Structure 1
């Protein structure tokens, strides 16, 4: 089995049909959230760097729930990459790409999914040898039809579409040969986190793990 330490970007696409994309406002929620996802059969989580609690949340999950592969999402500045790696992130995800961000992410040595929303962006990343990409914002940028249409001219690329995807629309993406997994924010609703309803999160995870 491939471990997080030896994973490649392509391996990330095979960890789960759905990668939970989570915003944590309170680091105290991170460990019970990760445990609930694991109980539901989801072994990976993308914790976004959108709140002041994010890095501490990553650190706690990495230390206390080593069975789950914890990644840092919304890496939009070079300093984010190093900070996330230091906190214990096993992979990184960017919503888009600049040369400085790409360089910083590559410097960590961690596997990563760079974001692309257009054919030109995807081709530019492919020129750098990057073939596992994040497609963001998926629904707003053309959805499953868009990814299906670029599969012919860009057969060597595979994607994790994220952004606006729901449990009902996910199967349409997952049926595409150039999609390895989808990112989903529906697995960790804010109201469930605030109320401590981890049984609901476990149930959502179980349904997501069964998708294909």
Structure 2
């Protein structure tokens, strides 16, 4: 998968598809992102310290204080950091071809990802040690190219979602949608719920071998 899709799949609040692509262009490789994620995790646990993110992303157009704080909040959650690492270990994350990523002379924290190629995971079902949607309440809307039951089982059993539902409420954490004009999409947008396109969800399934 591309680095942008990898970042998007982590479910970081305020990091939608376009923002994930911006971050990917800045980092270039998954190892560079994980290095900052580890530094953020090691920072004081006040949820406000964003220096590590400002150093790399402060001048990126569209990346404001809200996104930086969301990245730090994500980094301060041990389960989220473990999930990000686990996913990078089992799913090939391709670097951005033209990157402005810099390491300031520091060697990146290696995930071993470079040793994994697409053929090594083809036809295999991949289940990470830590599940990236652990505890999230997910709603699907629209007619998916796969059976709804298959999508819901994948979300719970492989990604770790705590539940799936047909209704969007304040307790919903993520909406997987097909149509931006649907009532569920509009309600989720109003409530500030994280959104994922159905196409992106299917690509995530495919990266785990879940659509075979």
How high is the TM-score relative to the length of structure 2?
Answer: 0.28
Identify the structure with the greater strand proportion: 1
Q: TM-score, normalised by structure 1?
A: 0.28
Q: Whose RCO is larger (CA < 8 A, sep 6+)?
A: 1
